Amino acid sequence: MGAAASAETVGRFARAAGWPVLADPISGLRTGANAVSAYEALLRVPDFADGHRPEVVLRIGAPLTGKVATSWLDPSIMQIVVDPDASWLDPHRAASERVECCAEALLTSLAERLDSDRPLDDTEWLDDWLGAEAAARAAIDPLLDAGDAPFEGRVARDVFAALPAGAACFVAPSMPVRDAEWFAAPRDGLRMYANRG
């Protein structure tokens, strides 16, 4: 299920809240300065995963694809699922609350309120995530580039990076969806379609 929110609105909310955006590339929301693409790799490091458990998560649409992130977002974390289609997208029964509303309108309203309320220097949480993202990408990308064989993760990363702005991309199940989640860097300008499988 799609998020029913634009990448611009999600980015504006994330900037106003000082939150990272953890999004599958198939959501079309893995864009902007707050996007963290290496969350699956980061959450495999126990110290990082334990030290970065959020107090609350606002989830728009379907859950993340990967098992590591899904397990990390267990029911002990308050999770508010914005469910614009009234589909109750919570297969792991982790949601604390479901809000049946227009995600675009909700995020716009929250961003406006947060823009006026949040101290501008309150960026430690986000800075930590973005620093870890930069370090993880600096480690992952050279490994993907090290060999001549067309490893699936390298193919996923390179296809996402090479498509021209405005292109449509269809990712089909099951491993290509996960390869895209694990290895594709943040970028905008793509229309995403997928069968998660």
The CATH number of whichever domain residue 49 belongs to comes to 3.40.50.1220
- Looking at per-residue pLDDT, the higher value among 3 and 124 belongs to 124
Backbone angles phi, psi at 169, to 5 degrees: -130, 130
Q: Look at the pTM and tell me if it is higher than 0.75.
A: yes
Write the pLDDT tens digit of every residue in 88-146.
667 777 777 888 889 999 999 999 998 766 665 668 889 999 999 999 999 999 999 99
Number of folded domains that form the chain: 1
Residue 34 belongs to some domain of the structure: yes
User: Please, which residues bridge with residue 192 across strands?
Assistant: 169
Write the pLDDT tens digit of every residue in 23-49.
988 888 999 999 999 999 999 999 999
Which strands form 78-82's sheet, in the order they lie side by side? 56-60, 78-82, 97-99
**Mean pLDDT in residue range 170-183:** 88
Altogether, the residues listed in the chain come to a count of 197
Query: Does pLDDT of 147 surpass 70?
Result: yes
Backbone angles phi, psi at 137, to 5 degrees: -65, -40
Q: Give Cα separations from 134 to 13, 39, 42, 78, 173 (angstroms).
A: 21, 11, 11, 27, 28
Res. 161 pLDDT band, cuts 50 70 90: very high
Are 41 and 178 in contact by the 8 Å Cβ rule? The answer is: no
Residues 6+ apart with CB under 8 A from 52: 42, 128, 129, 132
What local confidence, expressed as pLDDT, does residue 51 receive? 95
What local confidence, expressed as pLDDT, does residue 195 receive? 81
Residue 187 belongs to some domain of the structure: no
Residue 119 belongs to some domain of the structure: yes
What local confidence, expressed as pLDDT, does residue 194 receive? 84
Residue 19 belongs to some domain of the structure: yes
Full domain range(s) for residue 99:
7-149
Residue 191 belongs to some domain of the structure: no
Which two tokens mark 137? 């990408």
Query: Does pLDDT of 63 surpass 90?
Result: no
User: Please, which residues bridge with residue 193 across strands?
Assistant: 170
How remote is the C-alpha of 175 from its chain's centroid?
18
Residue 167 belongs to some domain of the structure: no
Res. 1 pLDDT band, cuts 50 70 90: very low
Handedness of CA 94, 97, 103, 106 (dihedral sign): negative
Query: Does pLDDT of 197 surpass 70?
Result: no
- Distance of alpha carbon 190 from alpha carbon 150, whole angstroms: 23
Residue 133 belongs to some domain of the structure: yes
How remote is the C-alpha of 138 from its chain's centroid?
19
Q: Which residue has the tokens 């029911």?
A: 75
- Looking at per-residue pLDDT, the higher value among 79 and 164 belongs to 164
Residue 108 belongs to some domain of the structure: yes
Are 185 and 157 in contact by the 8 Å Cβ rule? The answer is: yes
Query: Does pLDDT of 3 surpass 70?
Result: no
